[in-house]
Amino acid sequence: MPQPTYVLVHGAWGGAWCWRDLTPELDVRGIAWRTMDLPSSREGARATTDLDDDATCVLESCGTDAPIVLVGHSYGGMVITQAAPLVASLQKLVYVAALVPLIGQSATATSRMVRVRTQLDDAIELDGDVLRLDPVLASSALYGHCAPATQSWATSKLSTQTVASFRAPRSAADVHVPTRYVACRDDHAIDPSLQSIMASRCDELVMIESDHSPFLSHPSDLADLLIA
C-alpha cells in the first residue's frame, strides 16, 4: 500500500500558514502532506459559511491518489469529523488539542462540556457575524511556548472566524478507522480537562508538553507523534 498523505486542517482564526514549521519536519521524514485555508477563517467570508463549507474544502484537498490521514487542530477536529465519511481512502484520524464532537454537537456545544473559562475565551470579540481575537490576549492563549518572534508573526496572521461555523452541528456518521488524540498539557485555549473528554472518544491518547500550537512551538515532537 502506498504511504498516506497527511491532510493538515487548521483551527479557527488560522490558515495554511499555521503549519510553517511542521511541514519541513514532515519533509525530513518523507511524509507527503497537504494544507488548505478553511472558508470560515477567511477575511470577508460570507456570514453563512459554516462547518459543511469547511468539510467540503477538506474533501477537495484530499484528492483520490493516495491513502489519507486527516489531522485536525482545535476547531479543525470538528471539520475532519464532518469530512471523514466522504473520504474514500481514509486511513486514520488524528486530533491535536481538538474538538471531537458527537453527532448533533456544534463546536460551541462541544467546547461548553467543561465550564472552565480559558485565556482564549477572554480574547474572543464578537463583531457582527464574525469573531475576532484580541491580539495581545490571543498571543498568550495560543502561542505561550513560542519564541517572541514566532508569537508576533502568528498573531499578525490571525483572521476572523464566522459565528456560523461554531454553531453548525456535526451531521456526519461515525467512521471505522483508527483515531489518535494528541493532548497538549499546557493549553490555555482548550482546557486539558476538556481535552481529556475529547480523548476518551478516540482509540489512542498521547501527550505533549505544549501550548495550544505545538506545530509552531514543538514541531519536531509533534511530527513524531503524528506518524508514530
Q: Which active-site residues does the annotation give? A: 74
The residue type at 58: V
DSSP per-residue string spanning the chain: -PPPEEEEE--TT--GGGGTTHHHHHHHTT-EEEE---GGGSTT--TT--HHHHHHHHHHHH-SSS-EEEEEETTHHHHHHHHGGG-TTEEEEEEES---PPTT-BHHHHHTTS----HHHHHEEEETTEEEE-HHHHHHHHHTTS-HHHHHHHHHH---EEHHHHHPBP-PPP--S-EEEEEETT-SSS-HHHHHHHHTTSSEEEEE---S-HHHHSHHHHHHHHH-
Phi-psi region of 128 (alpha: psi -120 to 50; beta: other; left: phi over 0): left
The residue type at 136: V
**Phi and psi angles of residue 17, each rounded to the nearest 5 degrees, phi first:** -60, -25
CB 13 within 8 A of CB 41: yes
